[in-house]
Amino acid sequence: MPRDPTPSSFSHRHLLGIEDLSPDDINLLLDLADSYVALNRRAEKKRDLLRGRTQINMFFESSTRTRTSFELAGKRLGADVINMAPSTSAIKKGETLVDTAATLNAMHPDLLIVRHPDSGAVKLLARSVRAAVINAGDGSHEHPTQALLDALTIRRRLGRLSGLTVAICGDIAHSRVARSNILLLNTMGARVRLVAPPTLLPTRVDRYGVEVHHDMTEGLKDADIVMMLRLQTERMQGSFVPSQREYFQFYGLTYEKIAHARSDALIMHPGPMNRGIEIDSEVADDINRSAILDQVEMGVAVRQACLELLTGNLDHPEHNQ
């Protein structure tokens, strides 16, 4: 059962990236999230931990899973949740992000959940508000709650993170999910392999402390987890692969390719999936191997844990400059 808020050792004012978190922070978040999974499976899901608090979701990029799960997480904890739609907001009239932040700040929200197409934009916004800010994805930089929900999914299925071999495959270059996962998995002692064509790897990939493969057969060999990523064409200028058909042939996850991983390897995908491009439909729907819908379930629990821990720090004197 999620407990009443107690002074915790989670000292952060915002959640902007995995790069700011220690192994203790990550374990604390995952342990708390674990207790929310059970609560979310009950008929009565509501608590009043965030009663009186206001949460504003500001999504400057489209989202299904992340926005809905932050909304559910806030509502299940008793917060008043508002969804700001940038397409109908003053941003469209030329207002800057910082002016929008100052405007919202004047209404005294407690939690701002922000997704933005530009890397670094969420950090910039966090500097001009009193609310706790959660990065729900900034450009190709970070998506910390996705890495946390992936870690919770793995931990619940395989009992640990440390020592596992995780193959992250596909468009790594444009993926904030990959970046946050690499940081988290390295911090928690897992071994990370990136599997992608050279055009879809980030520049200076040697800095990431991972193994790099261009071939799925080698990259998937004996992997415990196979994490697939979408081709993020909205972040590409020009074409990065010869054709989607060819991409599927070399990098699409099929039963033939997964046979190189461990026989009980878990298949993961943050969604949205493009069936027939990075993953074969049958593989994606394989109830024995695919953890894709588990990931969605864990998303709500992880976001509840983040909201709880950050709200607990809101009235901290050091955070009220």
Alpha-carbon radius of gyration of the chain: 19
Could you say whether residue 165 binds ligand NCD (CB under 6 A)? no
Active-site positions read 65-66, 93, 115, 143
Among 54, 55, 66, 187, binds ligand NCD (CB under 6 A): 66
Output the smallest distance, CB 178 to ligand NCD, in A: 9
Query: Which residue is listed with tokens 């071939």?
Result: 215
- Regarding 279 and contact with ligand NCD (CB under 6 A), the answer is no
Measuring CA to CA, how many Å separate 88 from each of 137, 217, 262?
20, 47, 48
Question: In the sheet where 191-195 sits, what is the strand order?
Answer: 211-213, 191-195, 165-169, 225-228, 266-268
Binds ligand NCD by CB under 6 A, chosen from 176, 179, 289, 303: 176
One residue of 14, 53, 116, 143 binding ligand NCD per CB under 6 A: 143
Q: How far apart are CA 223 and CA 34, in angstroms?
A: 25
Q: Is 266 helix (H, G, I), strand (E, B) or coil?
A: strand
Out of 80, 271, 312, 319, the only residue in the binding site for ligand NCD (CB under 6 A) is 271
Residue nearer to ligand NCD on the CB measure, 79 or 149: 149
Q: Is 137 in the site for ligand NCD (CB under 6 A)?
A: yes
Where do the H-state alpha helices sit in 41-164?
65-76, 97-105, 121-126, 144-158
Q: Which of 222, 200, 181 is nearest to 19 (CA)?
A: 181
Name the residue nearer to ligand NCD (CB basis): 32 or 177.
Answer: 177
Non-local (6+) Cβ contacts of 164 within 8 A are 154, 158, 190, 191, 224, 225
Choice from 14, 76, 230, 289 touching ligand NCD (CB under 6 A): 230
Among 56, 114, 177, 277, binds ligand NCD (CB under 6 A): 177
Rounded to whole angstroms, how far apart are CA atoms 12 and 240? 38
Size of the site for ligand NCD (CB under 6 A): 11
Identify whether the C-beta of residue 171 lies closer than 8 Å to the C-beta of residue 229. Answer: yes
Compute the least distance from the CB of residue 296 to ligand NCD, in Å: 8
Cβ proximity to ligand NCD, 54 vs 146, nearer residue: 146
Chain residues that interact with ligand NCD, rule: CB under 6 A: 65-66, 137, 143, 146, 176-177, 230, 232, 270-271
